[in-house]
Amino acid sequence: MYRPQGIFHIVMQGQCYLREGNSDEVILLQAGDGVGFPTGGIHWISDSPCSQDLPAENVVNVTGDKDLFLLKSGEVTAFSADGDSWRNNSRTVPSPDSDSPKGSQETILLSVTVSYDSSVEHPFLKNLPCFIKASARSSDDLHRQEVLANLLIEESFGSYPGKPLMVDHITELLFVQMLRVHMRKMKHSNGYMAALSDPHIGVALNLIHTETDQKWTVEALSEASAMGRTAFTQKFVDMVGDTPKSYLTNTRLMKAKTQLQNTNDSMISIAESAGYASEAAFGKAMKQHFNTTPGELRKNIE
């Protein structure tokens, strides 16, 4: 089972220590290190390896989730991405481009939460690891992480038009970048994460996710993946946990849901783009998949 919310931390400056909820191991995190709990696992972060069990004197609910809190102790200042939180706090926070002495013991930790659509049963969500450590050691990875993290901090500090949208999308990009680093270190040959980077199944998944006017079939996907249909289908099921046909249908319906919620496209055009010839057939499929009708989805955002 997965929780519909996770939390990630990136050490921007200095160092700190991390311990997972059910482990006695203490992990040293240094500048450039990133850790994540995609399903919101219990963990502690502190300034020394022997100060893990702290009294809950200063607890911040960092999201709307009543079970997810940030524990503060000592000289720690926590901020949300809400502009008012920045302006109303009396302390001065270092700007992203400020210079700090190299010998400084100050630690700057960027903490980010992500939420998932709990109405979607997707193998990506089901296969999310409980814990990832994505240390950006290559120059390319470190550069991408620094650019995204600093841009996220800059947006959070400022009062720019479209700020919530920018913060949300930069957070998503940062999440994907951390998963990329994690995936390259994985040793498992199966599972959805491995499927994304597989030279055959990864090709098919990319084609499915980027499908536009061309409607893919299982036969066409197997050919594009340089595999026979039977071998392709079996490997797809083994790695993804679903048949190519079912995954293709589910992906089209998820795209249709997004269109219903975020565009003014007509119902019939959305139905046709999802591969359905009539609104009735489309409505039935949406009801079975999401337990709601296309009309209800659209009404909820109006």
For the chain, which residues make up each domain, given as ranges? 5-185, 192-299
Pairing, β 5-13 against β 108-115: antiparallel
Higher pLDDT, 53 or 41: 41
**Cα(217)–Cα(231) distance, integer angstroms:** 15
Q: Would you state the pLDDT for residue 23?
A: 80
pLDDT bucket at 22, cuts 50 / 70 / 90? confident
pLDDT bucket at 56, cuts 50 / 70 / 90? very low
**Cα(93)–Cα(64) distance, integer angstroms:** 24
**Cα(284)–Cα(271) distance, integer angstroms:** 11
The owner of tokens 């008012």 is 84
- Top-level CATH class of 192-299? mainly alpha
pLDDT exceeds 50 at position 95: no
Higher pLDDT, 173 or 22: 173
**pTM assigned to the model:** 0.67
pLDDT bucket at 32, cuts 50 / 70 / 90? confident
pLDDT bucket at 191, cuts 50 / 70 / 90? confident
Length of the chain: 302
DSSP category for residue 1: -
Sign of CA dihedral 223, 228, 229, 234: negative
Q: Would you state the pLDDT for residue 57?
A: 44
CATH number for region 5-185: 2.60.120
Residue 23 vs residues 42, 55, 71: alpha-carbon distances, Å: 10, 19, 18
DSSP category for residue 199: T
Residue 116 vs residues 22, 58, 66: alpha-carbon distances, Å: 24, 28, 16
Whole-number CA gyration radius for the chain: 22
Residue 277 vs residues 48, 68, 172, 268, 270: alpha-carbon distances, Å: 62, 44, 34, 8, 10
Asked if residues 22 and 116 have their Cβ atoms less than 8 Å apart, the reply is: no
What is the arithmetic mean of pLDDT over 130-139?
79
What's the gap between Cα 203 and its chain centre? Answer: 21
pLDDT exceeds 70 at position 72: no
The owner of tokens 């950006």 is 136
Q: Would you state the pLDDT for residue 92?
A: 38
Name the percent of the chain lying above pLDDT 90.
37
Burial class (CB in 10 A: 0-12, 13-18, 19+), 263: exposed
**Cα(281)–Cα(2) distance, integer angstroms:** 31
What is the arithmetic mean of pLDDT over 272-283?
92
